[in-house]
Amino acid sequence: MSSTRFRMAGATLALMLGALAGCTTGEGVDVDGADGASAGGVLNAAIGGEPDQLDPHKTSAYHSFQVLENVYDTLVEPDTNLEMKPSLATGWTTSDDQLTWTFTLREGVTFSDGSPLTAEDVVYSYNRIIDEKLNNAYRFGTVKSVAAPDPTTVVVTLNAPTPNLLANLGGFKGVAIVQKSNVESGEVTTKPVGSGPFAVDSYTSGDSIRLVRNDNYWGEKPKLDGVTFTFVSDPTVALQNLQGGEVQWTDNLPPQQVAALLDGDDPTVQSVPSTDYWYLALNQAREPYDDVNVRRAIAFALDREAITKAAKFGLATVNQTAIPQNSAFYYEYAPFSHDVNQARQLLDQAGVSDLSMDLMVTSEYPETVTAAQVIASQLEAIGVTVEIRTLDFAQWLDEQGAGNFDSFMLGWLGNIDPDEFYYAQHHSGGTFNFHKYANPTVDRLLDQARTETDQAARKQQYDQVAKQIVDDASYIYLYNPDVAQGWSKQVTGYEVRTDRAIRFRDVALAK
Amino acid sequence: MARFVIRRLLQSAVVLLGVTLVVFLLLQLVPGDPVRVALGTRFDPQTYEALRARAGLDQPLVVQYFNYLGRALTGDLGVSFRSGRPVTAIVLERLPATLSLAFTAVVFATVVAFPLGILSAIRSGSWIDHAARVFSQFGVSVPDFWMGIMGILLFAGVLGWLPPSGYVALTEDPAGWASHVALPAATVGLVTASILTRFIRSSMLEVLSEDYVRTAEAKGLRTRVVVLRHVLRNALIPVVTVVAVQLASLLGGVIVIEVLFAWPGIGRLTYDAVQARDYPVLQGAVLLVAALFLLVNLLVDILYARLDPRITVR
């Protein structure tokens, strides 16, 4: 009896070994016999995690938007300089009172299943977000109504002038135009139907999502036959996949290796400054952090260069305000030199000594864990003992919401308009103002800038906001990280974007 | 026998009922709010309330539990909080990957452990015995994720024999399946093999010192015959249990290894569900794993009765 089982096991092993010997590494790319760069083929891309779901209005995960960027369209979309350009809408006019925006839609646009996309679909999509209070409802805060007088016209009526309406309607795919029947059948979560360059072909839970070229696409047809996204959490493994040829693109690179990879030419690795910012926030509902001198002392005690070097291996730009240099709204202001004596004096003024500060970071973003250790050693120099608490993100968010922290470190990702950089975080009624900053001047300026239609005046208001926030050390800004992505030599026509949108529509894959 | 099986199945149902309650209560104790995770930093109180209500999380706990239980009895384990898809479908579609990893790992482990364990028992004190002990010690003490990364760097990176990660269904492409399962299964199997080797060795040594073995040897039987006919059959009975328990524990998914190798099994599902505090999926995954565990145990008991005439099931 036992001997037969041995034989069976042996046979299984022999089978396995035979299969191993017979397989080659790296699935060859299926090329449809054509020649040259327009050979089609399927691009394999490794992303760091699985989308929670594919309904663009309900997901908030970056991994979802990496996929959906290629599946859906918005009325307008950001170009490489993050200026809003026509997409589904070819043009728009604004009434004199700035309260009525009229969009003209592109003719002959269809969803990937061939059904027409009309103004009704735009109205349906926007009303769905507003009525069901979905994640991006806040972007429609000033919208009174959305109407479709005819199939190619959308009229958005506002309660107040909204200079950043275009950014709200096209900043990212969370406000995409969806298909009513696809939503009502519930298929939108796994088999969404959009009008973008690719369409979802299949979704294997835990493993991959396959996109195929949308032959009904209104724009220039993609050269690729399709894109397959696989979910590889471990950056070392993702890089191994890229180097071994199993994937041709990934953004999940080990941070400590990026600098070396930037110098090589295979794989191609490029980085650009992003619009994200990372910061330290002190809880102003707690003593002594309600004292501006204490907050400024901590801002003076930090050596941002050292923090950035440790946390990002140099792949970031130190910044003392939120908005990065490459934005039109950048405001050059850096009052905090690394000055331990100044920091000590400020603490003395505040009458604070032997301070023990709790610093909350999350394993979801390992850079916060690394940065916390550097921050702790720097604050030790001014007599502040930092107690680092590393939590998983769910618990971290709980604690933050309940105000159970002295300080925390986090980042804001993918912002375009200055309103996104400042309002929710620093307005006393802001939805993300968990550190309880309240300054009437800042409140007034933020409300004013929200509806200011004169660009120059608006820029000035945000400059004032930025200066005040930095002076008050509402957030102690640290750096703007770079976006680094890598792809194989076969890939042409791809570029890294500062808003971290992943667009494969212009990409070609050589043999 | 039939009565025994029926009674065991009824007991299992009671255990599973207990599992639903314990898991439900444990999840209430775990800090972290699924709605907050779903919203991330784009937090808006109105959206928060709407989402909570949609998920039924604003109901009292008792109501939540009995709603869940009532639906579970009809085979409906609710919908995932993250994706809005039925939990039953989500959990079942992850089963093939976990089954193939678990079974391949156990096959790998037995193929390695049986010869090693038997030889080191027969040649107790020889170099092969020492080598086997070093191997066991190594396998048990080295962290499996490190072993996995080393395996990837060697077999996928340096040698280029195997893909570094990913999964292909057996039904779709057997060769592709084998090449993808080899590394994760070997990584998991190495740990299992270490445990098994020790166990087989000690079990063999115990039987070797029995009186009937000395009798057989005194009769002048050759060592090979003694070992194969008398020792092995008796020594392997307890080993069957250990193999089964190891298999059952692997059926729960191997979280670290599945995450490392991008393997779409129950382990990775559990990991993602914990991160998102996706209660319905976690409950579903735990229920499935518990049910598998009970089933494997039942099968082992039946097998035992077959193997060992001294044991009868009642």
pLDDT, greater one: B294 or B228 = B294
- Picking from A58, A42, A69, the residue whose alpha carbon sits closest to that of residue A497 is A69
The partner residue sitting opposite B107, judged by closest CB among A9, A23, A412, is A9
Q: Which A residues, 19 through 58, put their C-beta within 8 Å of a C-beta on chain B?
A: 19-20, 22-23, 25-26, 49-50, 52-53, 55, 58
Report chain A's mean pLDDT, rounded to a whole number. 90
Average pLDDT over residues A256-281: 92
Q: Tell me the per-residue pLDDT of A384-420, one tens digit each, with 9 for 90 and over.
A: 999 999 999 999 999 999 999 999 999 998 788 999 9
The answer to whether the Cβ–Cβ distance between A20 and B34 falls below 8 Å is: no
Neighbours of B31 (CB within 10 A): 13
Asked which of A36-45, A261-270, A297-306, B64-73 is least confident by mean pLDDT, the reply is A36-45
The partner residue sitting opposite A60, judged by closest CB among B38, B104, B176, is B38
On the question of pLDDT at A1 being above 50, the answer is: no
- Picking from A61, A396, A231, the residue whose alpha carbon sits closest to that of residue B269 is A231
Asked which of B152-161, B177-186, B231-240, B275-284 is least confident by mean pLDDT, the reply is B231-240
The pLDDT value given to residue A197: 97
Tell me how far apart the alpha carbons of residues A402 and B32 are, in angstroms, rounded to a whole number.
11
Tell me how far apart the alpha carbons of residues B151 and B157 are, in angstroms, rounded to a whole number.
9
User: How far A339 CA sits from the closest chain B CA (Å)?
Assistant: 32
On the question of pLDDT at A12 being above 80, the answer is: no
Contacts of A8 (CB under 8 A, 6+ apart): none
State the sign of the Cα–Cα–Cα–Cα dihedral B168, B169, B174, B177.
Answer: positive
Q: What is B37-95 written as a DSSP string?
A: HHHTT---HHHHHHHHHHTTTTS-HHHHHHHHHHHHHTT---B-TTT-SBHHHHHHHHH
The pLDDT value given to residue A21: 37
For an interface test with A, the pick among B35, B44, B261 (most A C-beta atoms closer than 10 Å) comes out as B44
On the question of pLDDT at A34 being above 50, the answer is: no
User: How far B179 CA sits from the closest chain A CA (Å)?
Assistant: 5
The answer to whether the Cβ–Cβ distance between A138 and B47 falls below 8 Å is: yes
The pLDDT value given to residue A39: 63
Tell me how far apart the alpha carbons of residues A410 and B299 are, in angstroms, rounded to a whole number.
51
The answer to whether the Cβ–Cβ distance between B275 and A394 falls below 8 Å is: yes
Q: Which B residues, 245 through 304, put their C-beta within 8 Å of a C-beta on chain A?
A: 259-265, 268-269, 272, 275-277
User: How far B275 CA sits from the closest chain A CA (Å)?
Assistant: 7
Asked which of A103-117, A284-298, A434-448, B185-199 is least confident by mean pLDDT, the reply is B185-199
* A412 close to B (CB below 8 A): yes
Q: Tell me the per-residue pLDDT of B204-244, one tens digit each, with 9 for 90 and over.
A: 888 877 777 777 777 777 777 777 777 777 778 888 888 88
B275, two tokens: 């991160």
User: How far A244 CA sits from the closest chain B CA (Å)?
Assistant: 7
Q: Which A residues, 84 through 113, put their C-beta within 8 Å of a C-beta on chain B?
A: none
On the question of pLDDT at B37 being above 50, the answer is: yes
Helix, coil or strand: residue A93: strand
Asked which of A324-333, B23-32, B205-214 is least confident by mean pLDDT, the reply is B205-214
Residue of chain B minimizing CA distance to A23: B175
* B112 close to A (CB below 8 A): no
On the question of pLDDT at B294 being above 50, the answer is: yes
pLDDT band at B314 (very low <50, low <70, confident <90, very high): low
* B40 close to A (CB below 8 A): yes
Which single residue is written with the structure tokens 């008398």? B230
Burial of A309 (0-12, 13-18, 19+ CB in 10 A): middle
Asked which of A144-148, B261-265, B293-297 is least confident by mean pLDDT, the reply is B293-297
> Please, where are the H alpha helices in A139-203?
165-170, 180-184
On the question of pLDDT at B160 being above 90, the answer is: no
On the question of pLDDT at A37 being above 50, the answer is: no
Asked whether A68 and A178 are in contact (CB, 8 A), the reply is: no
Helix, coil or strand: residue A408: strand
The pLDDT value given to residue B312: 67
The partner residue sitting opposite B152, judged by closest CB among A10, A15, A237, is A237
Residue of chain B minimizing CA distance to A396: B32
On the question of pLDDT at A14 being above 70, the answer is: no
The partner residue sitting opposite A52, judged by closest CB among B33, B83, B233, is B83
Q: Tell me the per-residue pLDDT of A461-473, one tens digit each, with 9 for 90 and over.
A: 999 999 999 999 9
pLDDT band at B313 (very low <50, low <70, confident <90, very high): low
* B180 close to A (CB below 8 A): no
pLDDT band at B139 (very low <50, low <70, confident <90, very high): confident
Residue of chain A minimizing CA distance to B259: A233
The partner residue sitting opposite B175, judged by closest CB among A23, A237, A431, is A23
Q: Which B residues, 2 through 31, put their C-beta within 8 Å of a C-beta on chain A?
A: 31
Report chain B's mean pLDDT, rounded to a whole number. 86
* B237 close to A (CB below 8 A): no
The answer to whether the Cβ–Cβ distance between B83 and A398 falls below 8 Å is: no
* B158 close to A (CB below 8 A): no
Parallel, antiparallel, or unpaired: how do β-strands A42-47 and A249-250 relate? parallel
Q: A225 vs A38, A268, A510, B33, CA distance in Å?
A: 10, 22, 12, 41
**A410 φ, ψ to 5°?**
-160, 175
B248, two tokens: 């059952």
- CA max distance for chain A: 91
Q: Is the pTM of this model over 0.95?
A: no
Asked whether A423 and A395 are in contact (CB, 8 A), the reply is: no
On the question of pLDDT at A511 being above 90, the answer is: no
pLDDT band at A13 (very low <50, low <70, confident <90, very high): very low
Burial of A468 (0-12, 13-18, 19+ CB in 10 A): middle
The answer to whether the Cβ–Cβ distance between B259 and A233 falls below 8 Å is: yes
pLDDT band at B146 (very low <50, low <70, confident <90, very high): confident
Residue of chain A minimizing CA distance to B306: A1
3-state secondary structure A271-310: EEECCCEEEEEECCCCCCCCCHHHHHHHHHHCCHHHHHHH
Tell me how far apart the alpha carbons of residues A36 and B200 are, in angstroms, rounded to a whole number.
61
Instruction: Name, of A391-400, B135-144, B146-155, the range with top average pLDDT.
Output: A391-400
A304, two tokens: 């941002």
The answer to whether the Cβ–Cβ distance between A240 and B264 falls below 8 Å is: no
On the question of pLDDT at A31 being above 70, the answer is: no
Contacts of B251 (CB under 8 A, 6+ apart): B98, B99, B102, B266, B289, B292, B293, B296
The pLDDT value given to residue A179: 96
* B97 close to A (CB below 8 A): yes
pLDDT, greater one: A177 or A19 = A177
The partner residue sitting opposite B262, judged by closest CB among A61, A231, A413, is A231
Q: B41: which chain A residues are within 8 Å (Cβ-Cβ)? A: 410, 412-413, 432
The answer to whether the Cβ–Cβ distance between B164 and A241 falls below 8 Å is: yes
The pLDDT value given to residue B172: 84
On the question of pLDDT at A38 being above 80, the answer is: no
**A318 φ, ψ to 5°?**
-65, 135
Contacts of A6 (CB under 8 A, 6+ apart): B114
Q: What is the DSSP letter of A187?
A: G
Contacts of B13 (CB under 8 A, 6+ apart): none
Residue of chain B minimizing CA distance to A53: B83
On the question of pLDDT at B41 being above 50, the answer is: yes
A6, two tokens: 């041995």
The answer to whether the Cβ–Cβ distance between B97 and A206 falls below 8 Å is: yes
Contacts of A329 (CB under 8 A, 6+ apart): A323, A418, A421, A459, A462
The answer to whether the Cβ–Cβ distance between B174 and A234 falls below 8 Å is: no
Which single residue is written with the structure tokens 């392997």? B236
pLDDT band at A450 (very low <50, low <70, confident <90, very high): very high
Distance of CA B293 to the CA centre of its chain: 9
The pLDDT value given to residue B253: 74
Parallel, antiparallel, or unpaired: how do β-strands A277-282 and A384-391 relate? unpaired
Tell me how far apart the alpha carbons of residues B188 and B257 are, in angstroms, rounded to a whole number.
8
On the question of pLDDT at A219 being above 90, the answer is: yes
Q: Tell me the per-residue pLDDT of B54-96, one tens digit each, with 9 for 90 and over.
A: 888 888 989 989 988 888 888 888 888 888 889 999 999 999 9
pLDDT band at A36 (very low <50, low <70, confident <90, very high): very low
The pLDDT value given to residue A448: 94
Q: What is B131-147 written as a DSSP string?
A: HHHHHHHHHHHS-HHHH
The pLDDT > 90 percentage for chain B reads 19
Q: What number of H helices and E strands is found in chain A? A: 15, 20
Average pLDDT over residues B151-166: 88
Neighbours of A117 (CB within 10 A): 23
* B70 close to A (CB below 8 A): no
* B179 close to A (CB below 8 A): yes
Q: Which A residues, 174 through 233, put their C-beta within 8 Å of a C-beta on chain B?
A: 186, 189-190, 204-207, 230-233
Instruction: Tally A–B CB contacts below 8 A.
Output: 184
Tell me how far apart the alpha carbons of residues A189 and A198 are, in angstroms, rounded to a whole number.
16
Average pLDDT over residues B236-261: 85
The pLDDT value given to residue B42: 77
The answer to whether the Cβ–Cβ distance between B275 and A392 falls below 8 Å is: yes
Instruction: Name, of A90-99, B30-39, B73-82, B227-236, the range with top average pLDDT.
Output: A90-99
State the sign of the Cα–Cα–Cα–Cα dihedral B245, B251, B256, B258.
Answer: positive
